[in-house]
């Protein structure tokens, strides 16, 4: 049973999505206090949703797993929007934006590839 519960940890898409969550948490620690209840939690929830839906879908049928991957893809789009807003609001610098967006694009590519492999 434990192998099945932890099998998702071997997925590269899971590992990269976890890196994204950790990056977003580190990044948002520097946000101003006025964002404590607005942009900051939304951005963190969206990043967590990417990872959590991979984990939740892992225990489902292939068809259901694809649906959970679609949710992850949607959440990753949200993270991208929040990164853009953060840059425009000067909460992050261009270098942080590029690092975050690069990691996000990598996760998105993995999500699409993994979903495609499940449909094959």
CATH number at residue 28: 1.20.1440.60
- Which of 76, 27, 84 shows the shortest CA–CA distance to 52? 76
| pLDDT band at residue 120 using 50, 70 and 90 as cut-offs | confident
Helices (H), 1-120: 2-6, 12-28, 39-58, 62-88, 94-119
CA nearest to 91, candidates 35, 20, 48: 35
Q: What is the mean pLDDT of residues 48-52?
A: 98
Number of domains in the chain: 1
Give the 3-state secondary structure of residue 29: coil
Residues spanned by the domain of 97: 13-119
- Give the containing element (helix H, strand E) for 116: helix 94-119
In a domain, 50, yes or no: yes
pLDDT tens-digit map of 69-97: 999 999 999 999 999 999 999 999 999 99
Query: Is residue 8 domain-resident?
Result: no
- What pTM, to 2 d.p., does this model score? 0.93
Residue 36 lies in a domain: yes
Q: Are 17 and 107 in contact (CB under 8 A)?
A: yes
Residue 4 has a pLDDT of 55
Q: What pLDDT sits at residue 5?
A: 58
Instruction: Kindly state whether residue 6 falls inside one of the protein's structural domains.
Output: no
């Amino acid at each position: 049973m434990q192998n099945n519960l932890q099998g998702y940890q071997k997925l590269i898409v899971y590992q990269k999505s976890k890196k994204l969550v950790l990056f977003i948490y580190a990044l948002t620690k520097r946000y101003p206090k006025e964002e404590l209840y607005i942009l900051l939690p939304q951005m963190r929830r969206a990043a967590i949703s990417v990872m959590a839906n991979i984990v939740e879908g892992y225990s489902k049928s292939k068809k259901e797993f694809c649906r959970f991957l679609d949710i992850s893809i949607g959440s990753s789009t949200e993270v991208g929007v929040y990164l853009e807003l953060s840059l425009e609001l000067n909460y992050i610098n261009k270098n942080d934006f590029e690092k975050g967006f690069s990691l996000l694009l990598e996760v998105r590519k993995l999500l699409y590839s993994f979903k495609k492999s499940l449909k094959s």
